[in-house]
Structure 1
Amino acid sequence: MKKPQTLLFQEDGRIPNSRYPVLLYRAITAEDGLSLVATLEALFERNGWPVQWRGGVLDDHHFHSTAHEVLGVYDGAATLRLGGEQGDDIEVRAGDVMVLPAGTGHCRISASHDFAVTAGYPREQGDWDICRSGDNTPAVRSRIDALSKPARDPVAGEAVGVASDWV
């Protein structure tokens, strides 16, 4: 397994972001006999991040305060802005996986017509919310700070902090 690219974003006043970096795994391929979506969902499930939905990424800046999130691109390509309105534009395509720590802003800037992701959350944090840009309140930051690190990295399968930079 390749080591993920890491991206760290600071609080911008409207989006809290996280003390943990985003993990970006590139070019994961389908296992023999499985589609890419089935491969990604099996990988996430095996590592304790059960998939809860398939679809796209919202086109407004948002984040989650009650759970970390994994997004696996299984079709198409997109430009996503991570880190809030002043964040970085990241190009993703089928086979790319993003692990977004709670509080990390994300938004779809553009996408191919076939762009699709599968999304999971740590089993122990399955109750996720949606917060919008500007919802960066003390109560929201308190929920984010109270979250523990997930037991395992959803892609590498090792304890978070071993294969990744979540220390």
Structure 2
Amino acid sequence: MAGRLEGLRVERFFDDGIYPNSALPLLFYEAALPRGAADAEAMEALFSANGWPPAWRASVFPYHHYHSTAHETLGVARGSARLMLGGPEGSEFDVEPGDVIVIPAGVAHRRLDSSSDFLVVGCYPPGQNWDLLRGEADDRPRADHNIARVPMPSTDPVGGAGGPLLAHWRMGTR
């Protein structure tokens, strides 16, 4: 099962001294699933079919954080929100059901605002387990070391083996 790939936005966020971010670009798939057909079960089916096992259903933390041990995918299943990606100097994204964001290890993210029913399905490539870092002074250089060791996924959570993630991430450098 492949999601819709036409609404792809590619954005890079670089180290700001607090949040490492990544040379790998963040991918934002607008309406990867049709708006009216997007729910938690459909998101989980999309991710599973493309080799990214669903891990949780929840919201997004309301504070800047990042993961140094895993790439993360967020699929909006219900409601809407405004997210800040890339740390305080990053970019704001408005998300709705059907949207999917693939966040490389190290890229800061947080929820700025959301509807009361906002629900996200989160997933990671097989074998990757997430940690939670908030940009504290003692996070680095351990976080930088971890990020450099996170393996490249073998598939795109929206497009599978032929999806654009692999091409965009191979163009990025670590």
- Structure 2 distance, partners of 1:144, 1:162, is 18
Where does residue 132 of structure 2 map in the other structure?
A: 130
Secondary structure in 1 matching 2:156: coil
Maintained 8 Å contact 1:156/1:163? no
**Change in CA separation of 1:14 and 1:54 when aligned onto 2, cut-off 3 Å:** same
Deviating 4+ runs (over 6 angstroms):
none
Where does residue 9 of structure 2 map in the other structure?
A: 5
**Change in CA separation of 1:11 and 1:22 when aligned onto 2, cut-off 3 Å:** same
Maintained 8 Å contact 1:72/1:98? yes
Of Structure 1 and Structure 2, which has the larger fraction of its residues in helix?
Answer: 2
- Provide the identity percentage: 41
**Structure 2 unmatched ranges of 5 or more:** none
After the TM superposition, which residues 105-144 of structure 1 pair with which residues of structure 2 at under 5 Å, given as runs? Answer: 105-125=108-128, 127-134=129-136, 136-144=139-147
Where does residue 41 of structure 1 map in the other structure?
A: 44
Maintained 8 Å contact 1:5/1:23? yes
**Structure 1 unmatched ranges of 5 or more:** none
| TM-score (norm: length of structure 2) | 0.87
Give the CA RMSD over aligned residues.
Answer: 2.1
Deviation at 1:134, TM superposition (A): 2.8
- Matched positions, count: 165
Where does residue 159 of structure 2 map in the other structure?
A: 156
- Structure 2 distance, partners of 1:106, 1:38, is 24
**Change in CA separation of 1:143 and 1:110 when aligned onto 2, cut-off 3 Å:** same
Deviation at 1:84, TM superposition (A): 0.6
One-letter amino acid matched to 1:44: F
